[in-house]
Structure 1
């Protein structure tokens, strides 16, 4: 699966840049897929998440209180954005301080599920971002990706994950 980080200009602003992952085979971003999968059943929650993203990009930056942190391994920045702390709709992302957020996918986490590993789709969405975060971190170290103004990525933003499980799960939706 080939994917590329793309800046979502309509959400990005003077306080934070919002990116998502464009999946070549799907011809859409993971965030677009998240909206499509959840808009009919969780319309109000989606509207709240969209409003939160606009606030992050244009007014406040990516403040920690907007996210459930530590959704990955220590230091990878994987977290979940939600419309409010009691919501079960999760949008997984990678947060780079207050300046950059990369939106992935996610879904609904029922009360009966205590850990994301109990739901194969949530697990795949989360683990994909963990792997992507590792790749971005390595490219930042190697200077293949830079953050010249702290709010934008520049450089090689295309990644290739051979036969990655997330595409199998998403194609079964």
Structure 2
């Protein structure tokens, strides 16, 4: 299935760029699905997560302290979780490429000790690990590049499964 990296203009700033992924089947970024799915039950949590993304992009960059790192199964897959503060119920799974580029995916509430115990969270993390492999491969073969200022992707944004 064809997918594409999309730059989220409304969430990106001069300190960090926020990207998401659109699949041919969905036509909307993963982040939009995440928001729509959880807006009724987790309004405050979503506001916290969106506020943190805006703070990163406009003020401080995508610092490690904002994320729970090493959420994926591979040591170098760059998959991490962004969660709401202070309750930490809702997880948004991401690929943190640097302090300047984050690819946000989907997620959900974490009511288990480990994401592997929840079928939905397991699916979301696995999907982000898959896209991380594609992005890292494209960066390695130079079909996808990071701009000189470190804030944007350049080149082929198509992510083929």
Q: Is the 8 A contact 2:135 2:159 kept in 1?
A: no
Runs of 4+ that moved beyond 2 A: none
Query: For 1:1-173, what aligned pairs fall within 5 Å after superposition?
Result: 1-72=1-72, 73-84=74-85, 86-110=87-111, 113-149=112-148, 150-161=150-161
- What's the TM-score once normalised by structure 1's chain length? 0.89
In 2: Cα distance, 1:23 partner to 1:69 partner: 25
In 1: Cα distance, 2:122 partner to 2:69 partner: 16
Q: Which runs of 5 or more residues in structure 2 are unaligned?
A: none
In 2: Cα distance, 1:136 partner to 1:27 partner: 20
In 1: Cα distance, 2:137 partner to 2:3 partner: 16
What's the offset of the Cα at 1:85? 5.7
Q: Deviations over 1:59-86 (max 9, x none)?
A: 1100111100010121111000012264
Further displaced range: 92-101 or 151-160: 151-160
In 2: Cα distance, 1:107 partner to 1:57 partner: 22
In 2: Cα distance, 1:35 partner to 1:148 partner: 29
Q: Which runs of 5 or more residues in structure 1 are unaligned?
A: 162-173
Q: What's the RMSD between the two structures over aligned residues?
A: 1.0
- What's the TM-score once normalised by structure 2's chain length? 0.95
Tell me, what secondary structure is at the counterpart of 2:5? strand
Equivalenced residues, count: 159
Q: Which residue of 2 aligns with 1:166?
A: none
Q: Deviations over 1:46-71 (max 9, x none)?
A: 01111111101111100111100010
The 1:85/1:95 distance shift into structure 2, 3 A limit, reads: farther
